[in-house]
Amino acid sequence: MSTSANLHPADQLAFDKAMVTQPVWNRFNTAAEALELPENVLLHAGPAFAAVDDITLPILNSACVAAVYEGLARDFDQAEAMIRASEILLKPAQDHDVVTPLAAVVSASMPLHTVYDAWRGTQRIFTPINGGSRPAMRLGLRSEAVLAHIRWLNTRFLDVLEKGLAEGMALVPLAALGLAGGDDCHGRTPVAGAALAAEITDRTAERLTDEDALEFLHSSPSLFLNLWMAATKIMMKLAEGIEGSSFITAAGGNGREVGIQVSGLPGQWFTTPASPPRGSFDVDLPGTRALGAIGDSAVVEAFGLGAMAIELSPEQKKAQGAYLPDNAKVRTSGLSVGAHPYFRDLEIRLGSTARGAVSAGAGPVISLGILDREGTAGRLGGGIYDMPVAPFADAMEALDA
């Protein structure tokens, strides 16, 4: 695993620990089972909100859906009242070893993909089932359609996934296959998604008869994204706790703030206000409707893929290349740390450090969906979020202290 000659020893150690990991999806667990998450706690992307009134509308909407799903409230209005009264609490998912996309919220009884490190067996990360292109919770809408889809995902579709999981599925080989075929493992995942669907189908002992679930399986390439977020996060998690290391171990946004964590200061968020991604809208709404950067999928770019590996994905570059900063290519090599054995043939470097970001004067570029800040139109489009250097500089100041 080659690394930069001038890499700080603590950062190199963190990188090496992250790379010697084999993320495998092997089961489903609920957050109540695995994490003893209280039923009145809901998990959201990015850092914590400073106050209840700061909760962005898309996350509030998803939290209301999750509260009704969980049986905490009889309807969305009662759920909102309970959230505003702090009877239902919202907390950062990554602080509980969970990653969740965009505005999706995780509750205690939701079945979550469990991804563990097969080489050491000491760490697990959890993520919800991706909602695909149907009324998905990640879009931040308060609707009966979203609630119905969550219930369907977590019963009928869960049954299909469990039947096809068999002894477990290594995720890095699927990512490598996707990258070789034009995925970026974030904004674009159809190759890895098709391979995942094929594996699930091939491993199923008896013929699958739920045609609706099968259609969803084969038409939802983003199913792989949630799993890859968890795989990325487990590699980062295993690099935590190295004194003096600025290796990035968490990254995400809640629509109001974006933040990171570093290896040497586990559990401590360093944040900055979240501006919206730069991109194009698929709907006829003014630019002022764009929510600030949101989602735990930023872990993928902090790991060095997604928009940081956009040169491997011609389709993604065609769609979003115009929104990349002028120095994006230089920044990719400046922030990354070293090579992973599975990805070496692709000539990409992975990992990122706060030291590298401060030296470059900027953080990673991140491919993100753009959500409606008013919580009524869902996804407005897609674009690129150019993460400022401020949280990385704050992390370095705290490490030096």
pLDDT digit string (tens) for 267-323? 999 999 999 999 999 999 999 999 999 999 999 999 999 999 999 999 999 999 999
Report how far residue 8's alpha carbon sits from residue 10's, in angstroms, rounded to the nearest whole number.
6
Q: C-alpha distances in angstroms, 381 versus 18, 142, 320?
A: 33, 19, 11
- Same domain for 73 and 186, yes or no, is yes
For residues 176 and 224, give the distance between their C-alpha atoms in angstroms, rounded to a whole number: 12
What letter would DSSP give residue 153? I
Domain boundary pick from 184, 211, 231: 231
Number of CB atoms found within 10 A of residue 41's CB: 17
372, part of any domain:
yes
Residue 1 lies in a domain: no
What is the number of structural domains in the chain?
Answer: 2
- What pLDDT score does 2 carry? 46
Domain boundary among 172, 207, 231: 231
| The pLDDT value given to residue 334 | 72
Whether 286 and 161 map to the same domain: the answer is: no
> Quick one: pLDDT at residue 5?
54
**In this structure, what CATH number is given to the domain that contains residue 67?**
3.90.1710.10
Three-state secondary-structure class, residue 315: helix
- 252 and 340 housed in the same domain: yes
pLDDT per residue over 372-388, tens digit each? 999 999 999 999 999 99
The verdict on residue 220 lying in a domain is: yes
Do 105 and 138 lie in a common domain? yes
Residue 361 lies inside a defined structural domain of this protein: yes
336 and 360 fall within a common domain? yes
Q: For the chain, which residues score pLDDT lower than 50? A: 1-3
In whole angstroms, give the CA distance from residue 381 to residue 102.
13
**175, 81: one domain:** yes
CATH of the domain at 292: 3.90.1700.10
Instruction: Classify residue 375 as left (phi > 0), alpha (psi -120 to 50) or beta.
Output: left
Question: Among all chains, which residue has been given the structure tokens 């049986």?
Answer: 71
Same domain, 276 and 182: no
Last residue in a domain, options 231, 262, 279:
231
Buried/exposed code over 334-371 (b: 16+ C-beta within 10 A; e: otherwise): bbbbbbbebbeeeebbbbbbbbbbbebebbbbbbbbbb
Domain region containing 226: 24-231
Give, as one character, the DSSP assignment of residue 10. Answer: H
Q: Are residues 259 and 386 in the same domain?
A: yes
Residue 313 in tokens: 């994905």
Instruction: Identify the CA nearest to 4 among candidates 324, 337, 258.
Output: 337
Enclosing H/E stretch for 190: helix 190-203
Same domain flag for 55 and 71? yes
Same domain, 97 and 143: yes
Q: Based on the domain organization, do 225 and 354 belong to the same domain?
A: no
328 part of a folded domain: yes
- Please check whether residue 102 is in contact with residue 137, taking contact to mean a CB–CB distance below 8 angstroms: no
Residue 140 and residue 249 share a domain: no
The answer to the question of residue 310 being in a domain is yes
Domain contains 4:
no
* Percent of residues in the chain assigned helix, strand, coil, to nearest 5: 45, 20, 35
Identify whether 184 is part of a domain. Answer: yes
